[in-house]
Homo-oligomer: A and B are copies of this chain.
Amino acid sequence: MPRWKPDAKQRLVVAALSLFTEQGYDATTVAEIAERAGLTRSTFFRHFGDKREILAAGQTTLSRLLVEGIEGAPAGATPLQAVAAGLERASGAMTSFNRELSPLLRAAIEANEELQHRDALKIIGLAAAMTEALIQRGIAEATAHVATEIGVLAFKRGFARWTDPAHDHDPGELATHTRAALAELTTAVTELR
């Protein structure tokens, strides 16, 4: 049983992911999504510009939060400390809705090649935004790229642990998991050469 009480927007996201899994992304229409959510098409269009935006909206937000966190890091922050600030800001915005949605999102992606493609491009877009934000802080371009890749790995690993279906207890905050993952990867960096 979900612990969140879904609002209209969340119901639309859940309905869309269920339909993408069942019948594919391309075959699913806005009308079907609205119907499955028990809402009207006009309610759909109050929340999303089109079907594509259901998946893009989360990405845009995540990218913005990562960049804002990096921008807001203290002036003397090292590259990995700036990345850590980005992860804190993005992780802090993730709620139990995001966590409980993740098996549905994973199933939809596994079932659809087009969603796999979108997911891959999404991560490339996120990484480019983070690298640009690090370069804006005066970090050398090569260093910014490496710091970004470590940040992306930390977010993925933290998120995977937070949403691990094998958890039989409260997984706590996402930030706890991304912080632990970044610490682990920071140690790994000393073992490369």
Contacts and interface: CB of A to CB of B under 8 A. Distances in A.
Indicate how many identical chains form the complex.
2
Interface in A150-169: 150, 153, 157
Interface stretch (A42-50, A53-61, A92-100, A114-122): A114-122
A147 B184 contact: no
Interface of A: 78-80, 114, 116-118, 120-121, 124, 140, 142-143, 145-147, 149-150, 153, 157, 184-189, 191-193
A192 B189 contact: yes
A78 B146 contact: no
29 contacts: A78-B192, A79-B191, A79-B192, A79-B193, A80-B192, A80-B193, A116-B117, A117-B118, A120-B120, A142-B157, A142-B184, A142-B185, A142-B187, A142-B188, A143-B191, A145-B185, A146-B149, A146-B150, A146-B188, A146-B189, A147-B192, A149-B149, A149-B150, A149-B153, A150-B192, A186-B192, A186-B193, A189-B189, A189-B192
